[in-house]
Structure 1
Amino acid sequence: MRIDLIAPPYSGHLHPILAIARELAPRHAVRVLSTPSAMAQVARAGLAGVPLLDADAERVLDAISDPRHAVRNHPLRMHRQLRDALGVMARFAQALRAAYAQAPPELVIADFTVPVAGTVAQALGIRWWTSLPSPCVIETPDGPPAYMGGLMPAAHAGARLRQALARRAVRGFKRGVHWLHRRRMRALGLPQLYRGDGSEAVYSPERILALGVAALEFPCTWPAALRFVGPRLPVSGRDTPWLPPRAAPVFVAGRRHVLVTLGTHLRWAKNAFDARVRALAAAMPELEFHFTDGDVTAGHHEHSGNYQRLAHVDYARWVGRYDLVVHHGGAGILYRCLAEARPAIVCPQDYDQFDHAARLQHAGAALWLRDLDGLEAAVRRAFAEPSLFAGLPALQAAVRACVAAHPLAELVECDGDTAP
């Protein structure tokens, strides 16, 4: 089967797509479509790549994905991001139509941040699936909605009412923004945000590959198209195939090590976080602290006493070596910690990271740090009270079992036999 996988160049979205593509490639004709800056990683992964857009569009995407300040649920900032994204999506749709004029695939698997890939595929009669690294962001008729600061499951009738109102607020905000941009939305093939059955039109009606485990998520009624297939992660203890080689972190024998990461974006937060971690290293000389900028293009490595600041730490290769991980709640590092059963402190900065923090703490897999001033106390508590992470073994087993039970090549072939 000819399968195209589509993602933006951001690590949290591109890397799962590369992992899926490598899994499908032995049995199917696979291509990865992204922006030109992603093609080097696609090639290192041993995959065929198709570059779309240009350097100007990539600059806009970079500003959207890595703003100078937190966006969170600030309506004006979210609106500005959407406005800029719609302009890029229109150009992306045009490039995709041109690419498919000559050689359309039989199936498109697109990251959820590129819904226009689905509308183009549907218009051309091509099957379309959605890849969803963060299942919590999808709307459901019950349970706590996402992007509301990390809501926990409702414990009483009043909380259930507040969450119902929050779900209505989220849907109302989306409808309002859609109405403001209705002409551009129609041009992108999205005349409505919701189908007749209430499901969100930006996700595939046929199959949504939820790259997580149900055991971590809060109880709710998932869309019929959604299937949990587990996170698709590079092999543990080995270098990630599509990343350039980097100098290894320095591990000191007999010492406990702490990794601190805010992922590949969030540049506005990293220097402040770095200052905090330096102070923490001075206050806790018995520990080794490694802070990573998440920059796969740089090569700096600063080492001073028990503190290291590194350009990049390969999660697949090194997370299993750390005794504690402090992270922002991104899906990639979240599931790498669960796969390695690594205790974590989650300090969310933006987007769905607050929702991930709530789920991890509720499951006994991490501490949710709401105020950076409490970082030292949280680190000391994490080492002093291992029972706080009692949920890790069960979640590690759930991750392994879910991935093993859902080989994607077989899922594609099975669903292909029953597709209309």
Structure 2
Amino acid sequence: MVVVSPPFASHAQPLSVLAGALARRGADVFFACAPEFEGFAQRADVGFAPLTVTRNANTGVARNTPQAAGERARLDEFLDSTRHGAVSALLTQCRHRGQDMLPDPEGTLTRIRSLHARLAPDWYVVDQLSYPVTLALHCLGLRYATFCPGHPTYVPASGSALFGVPYAWPEAIRPSDEELADLRRAALAVDTAFTRRFAETARLHAPAAPPPGRAFALASPHAVVFNYPDFPWLPRRPENGTAFVHGGHCVPAAEPGPGAPWEAVPRRLRATHRRLVLIALGTFLSARDDVLALLVGGLRTHLPDTAVIVAAGDRAAALSHLAGPGVHVDAVVPQRWLLGKVDAVVHHGGNNSFTEALASGTPALVLPFSSDQFAIAHDAERAGLARCLDPSRLDGRTAGAALRRLLDEPPPGLRHWSRRVARRGPDWMARRLLGAMAPDGARPSRTDVTPARRRPRRASAAPSSYGS
């Protein structure tokens, strides 16, 4: 099988972990992504197939990644919008989505056809946000499973649900009715235009294929895998024969150590401080150095016994003046490893950060800025897993008080839900996925899914396998 990821580190990381889990169960797996992401396949011990399907990328720190013309300006516009609150950020994302959600569908169709001719997999796993790839697989009539990398509502459960409009909000962030109406209008316009373009592409290139229907809802009829817990209040889905698999998290069973220099950092900080907090706002939002500085100041003033590690991305040099006996600032941190070493984490509500903190049982303060982060923050609050604040109205005193409470009174639901998701994860997910995708509903055991042959570790790339 081929696992297809867009060229974003936050997507390639969990998808490559799932690819490795599928391979451990005997499947012959290739990880298909932009050439810069071959290392993810190597770490997962699976084959690699170079495939580029979008013009923008994020190899770990968004603003440090070489971008196509105009992408840096769009990223800066998005970051600026997050300073003005939730709806401002979501409206900016909605506008950008309307401009390029289906880039080069014909080229993607050609590249997937070429990939299939070279590797001839039985089926694919495709990131749900790789809409051109999903459409290509649909048009070519190829069997695939959908992997949802974010909140489950990224795959709309009903006709009234709109992509880009949170299904629920955390207590600290409650937009007005007027703001929500504006957001719904913008999201509906994008939904309508996107669905029309899907239909036009399918009619032109695959007139015999079934109509793709609503673009944002197009997903595998066989299996949809959510990298998310199965909270009982999530929108229910119709029983239509599709297997909906909530894997809980995509954290490997064993996390390798980051090496001696990093392993010394928590020891050094704990030698002089009673507690340790990690601040990590993700590969995009680490650029909000104003929020990072405010959080460090709040900790220094209100929790002098607490040290902090800051993931600062491309702002590490600008924030180097914050470093000291109780503060370590770095561009990139070994987040999954550190979650097992700290007393609490401050994150942005990204799905990886949320599920990784849950899997490690680490208390969290969530500062949602954009995308599905508001829905994730709502779920984290409702499940008693984290506390939440509005980053656009944050001050040092409020942040310090929230962190003190988080450290002194761990969230009440954390132990329960950490135990529940521990019973799942990537290997559980792979087993369920292999069962759901087995021909004629068969449910294979590990020994039933042995590869017929071992292919080269790296698939050669035909000229058509690269995008512009």
Give the Å deviation of 1:212. Answer: 1.5
Q: Secondary structure of the residue that 2:425 maps to in structure 1?
A: helix
Aligned-partner Cα distance in 2 for 1:365–1:237: 23
Name 1:359's counterpart in structure 2: 379
1:78-157 mapped onto 2 (5 Å cutoff): 78-88=94-104, 90-134=106-150, 135-141=152-158, 147-148=164-165, 151=168
Name 1:156's counterpart in structure 2: none
1:67 maps onto 2:86 in alignment = no
Distance 1:180 1:209, change over 3 A: closer
Aligned-partner Cα distance in 2 for 1:401–1:32: 26
Name 1:403's counterpart in structure 2: 425
State TM-score, norm by structure 1. Answer: 0.81
- What amino acid is the match of 2:168? L
Aligned-partner Cα distance in 2 for 1:142–1:182: 17
Aligned-partner Cα distance in 2 for 1:52–1:103: 13
Q: Secondary structure of the residue that 1:95 maps to in structure 2?
A: helix
Distance 1:188 1:233, change over 3 A: farther
Give the Å deviation of 1:142. Answer: 9.2
- What amino acid is the match of 1:385? E
Unaligned runs of 5+ residues in structure 1 are 154-160
Unaligned runs of 5+ residues in structure 2 are 58-66, 171-176, 443-468
4+ residue runs over 6 A deviation = 142-146, 164-168, 188-193
Provide Cα deviations, 1:17-59, integer angstroms capped at 9, x if missing partner: 1111111113011001111221123223322111123996642
1:286-305 mapped onto 2 (5 Å cutoff): 286-293=305-312, 303-305=323-325
- What amino acid is the match of 1:12? S
Aligned-partner Cα distance in 1 for 2:282–2:376: 14
1:100-249 mapped onto 2 (5 Å cutoff): 100-134=116-150, 135-141=152-158, 147-148=164-165, 151=168, 172-178=188-194, 181=197, 185-186=201-202, 194=213, 201-215=217-231, 218-224=233-239, 225=242, 226-235=244-253, 238-239=256-257, 247-248=262-263, 249=265
Name 1:261's counterpart in structure 2: 280
Name 1:39's counterpart in structure 2: 38
- Percent identity between the two aligned chains: 21
Q: Secondary structure of the residue that 2:307 maps to in structure 1?
A: strand
Name 1:5's counterpart in structure 2: 3
Larger displacement relative to structure 2 (52-61 or 14-23): 52-61
Aligned-partner Cα distance in 2 for 1:416–1:107: 10
Aligned-partner Cα distance in 1 for 2:154–2:164: 8
Aligned-partner Cα distance in 1 for 2:70–2:252: 25
Aligned-partner Cα distance in 2 for 1:107–1:65: 37
Give the Å deviation of 1:89. Answer: 5.0
Aligned-partner Cα distance in 1 for 2:284–2:54: 18
Aligned-partner Cα distance in 1 for 2:377–2:73: 20
- What amino acid is the match of 1:32? F
- What amino acid is the match of 2:305? E
Provide Cα deviations, 1:172-210, integer angstroms capped at 9, x if missing partner: 334333267467654687996636xxx954311211011
**For the aligned residues, what is the CA RMSD?**
3.9
Give the Å deviation of 1:398. Answer: 1.4
Cα contact 1:143–1:220 (8 A) shared by 2: no
Provide Cα deviations, 1:99-150, integer angstroms capped at 9, x if missing partner: 2233321110001111322332233332111001221322223998764456
Aligned-partner Cα distance in 2 for 1:272–1:88: 37
Cα contact 2:22–2:29 (8 A) shared by 1: yes
Give the Å deviation of 1:312. Answer: 2.0
Cα contact 2:366–2:389 (8 A) shared by 1: yes
- What amino acid is the match of 1:18? S
Number of positions where the alignment pairs a residue of Structure 1 with one of Structure 2: 398
Q: Secondary structure of the residue that 2:339 maps to in structure 1?
A: helix
Give the Å deviation of 1:82. Answer: 3.9
Name 2:16's counterpart in structure 1: 18
1:311-326 mapped onto 2 (5 Å cutoff): 311-326=331-346
Distance 1:349 1:128, change over 3 A: same
Cα contact 2:251–2:356 (8 A) shared by 1: yes
- What amino acid is the match of 2:103? G
Aligned-partner Cα distance in 1 for 2:360–2:415: 9
Q: Secondary structure of the residue that 2:3 maps to in structure 1?
A: strand
Cα contact 2:292–2:310 (8 A) shared by 1: yes
Cα contact 1:146–1:352 (8 A) shared by 2: no
Name 1:380's counterpart in structure 2: 404
Name 1:415's counterpart in structure 2: 437
Distance 1:372 1:275, change over 3 A: same
Distance 1:33 1:230, change over 3 A: same
Aligned-partner Cα distance in 2 for 1:169–1:246: 51
Distance 1:137 1:245, change over 3 A: farther
Name 1:158's counterpart in structure 2: none
Aligned-partner Cα distance in 2 for 1:37–1:361: 37
Distance 1:289 1:90, change over 3 A: farther
Provide Cα deviations, 1:292-346, integer angstroms capped at 9, x if missing partner: 1358xx9x98841211112222232220111111000011111111111111100
